[in-house]
Amino acid sequence: MNPDTQIEIRNLTMAYGDYVVMRDIQAEVKPHSVFVIMGGSGCGKSTLLRHLIGMIRPAKGEILYEGQSFWSMDDDRRQQRLRRFGVLFQGGALWSSMTLLENVSLPLGEYTDLSAADIREVARLKLALVGLKGFEDFYPSEISGGMCKRAGLARAMALDPEILFFDEPSAGLDPISSRNLDDLILELRDSLGATIVVVTHELASIFAIADDSIFLDPETRTMQARGNPRELLHSDNPKVRTFLSRGNPSGIPASH
């Protein structure tokens, strides 16, 4: 194993019951980088993310974190490992019966020894980091979709995770918010040194943030390419080229 690998996906086959979503996925995620999982809708990106955060057990193959296979760890180790992840779900997935501050505070209360006052301080800071200062006492239903996502990000960052997972962070956002979120992601990588795994199919985002990527193809039910998307633009795989250039297989992206 390469010591420079934070997550290694080895021969992963993903299935829901008998229904195989993807097979034979191989990838490595380097520390302090942004890794993008791309592919069309319904091809299994979210499913792969759920495998990476340990919510679904692989049908075949392994996922290794710093060289240790996630599912062969004992329960306590696995829980500790989970605590070093931060996850932002597609819609934000804020707990709707709690205010934004309570949402961010809950994990802090569960897993740190901070006093109640300190927890509030930290939670306020996290919300300020994502630009939600002043919205601490709002309920998720009282703020917009983009704000929910940012609050979800603040909650994902609550425990200072080493790895952040994002499921389609820019889906449903206007271009400016989406751009701001991309900047935030890069900022997290650079200032916190976090490793970031992003599921997305927004080309602008992909080119703006990705250090490395894999491309999933629903037709062959497997991964079609791996590498930096800018290099993949010149890949000899027409499917990847077509995807990255909005259906223009000659390889020049419409937006760049």
- Interacting residues toward Mg ion by CB under 5 A: 46
Q: Give the binding-site size for another protein (rule: CB under 8 A).
A: 22
Residue 41 binding target from another protein, ligand ADP, Mg ion, none, CB below 5 to 8 Å by type: ligand ADP
- Contact with another protein (CB under 8 A): which of 89, 166, 207, 243? 89
Residues between 116 and 155 with contacts to another protein, criterion CB under 8 A: 152, 155
Please state, in angstroms and rounded to a whole number, the distance separating the CA atoms of residues 7 and 70.
Answer: 10
Give the residue from 217, 184, 213 showing the smallest Cα distance to 199: 213
Instruction: Please say which residue, 168 or 182, places its beta carbon nearer to ligand ADP.
Output: 168
Residue 42 binding target from ligand ADP, Mg ion, another protein, none, CB below 5 to 8 Å by type: ligand ADP
Residue 163 phi, psi dihedral angles, 5° rounding: -125, 130
Instruction: Please say which residue, 221 or 230, places its beta carbon nearer to ligand ADP.
Output: 221
Instruction: Please say which residue, 105 or 235, places its beta carbon nearer to another protein.
Output: 105
Residue 223 binding target from another protein, Mg ion, ligand ADP, none, CB below 5 to 8 Å by type: none
Choose one: 44-52, 63-71, 97-105, 190-198; the region binding ligand ADP (CB under 6 A): 44-52
- Contact with ligand ADP (CB under 6 A): which of 27, 28, 44, 209? 44
Residue 207 CB, nearest approach to another protein (Å): 27
* Residue 52 in contact with ligand ADP, rule: CB under 6 A: no
* Residue 239 in contact with another protein, rule: CB under 8 A: no
Helix (H) or strand (E) holding 199: strand 195-199
* Residue 41 in contact with ligand ADP, rule: CB under 6 A: yes
* Residue 43 in contact with ligand ADP, rule: CB under 6 A: yes
Torsion sign over Cα 101, 103, 106, 111:
negative
Instruction: Please say which residue, 46 or 180, places its beta carbon nearer to Mg ion.
Output: 46
Residue 62 phi, psi dihedral angles, 5° rounding: -140, 155
* Residue 56 in contact with another protein, rule: CB under 8 A: no
Residue 47 binding target from ligand ADP, another protein, Mg ion, none, CB below 5 to 8 Å by type: ligand ADP
Under the rule (CB under 8 A), what is the footprint of another protein? Answer: 50, 53, 55, 79, 82-83, 85, 87, 89-91, 93-96, 106-107, 110-111, 152, 155, 159
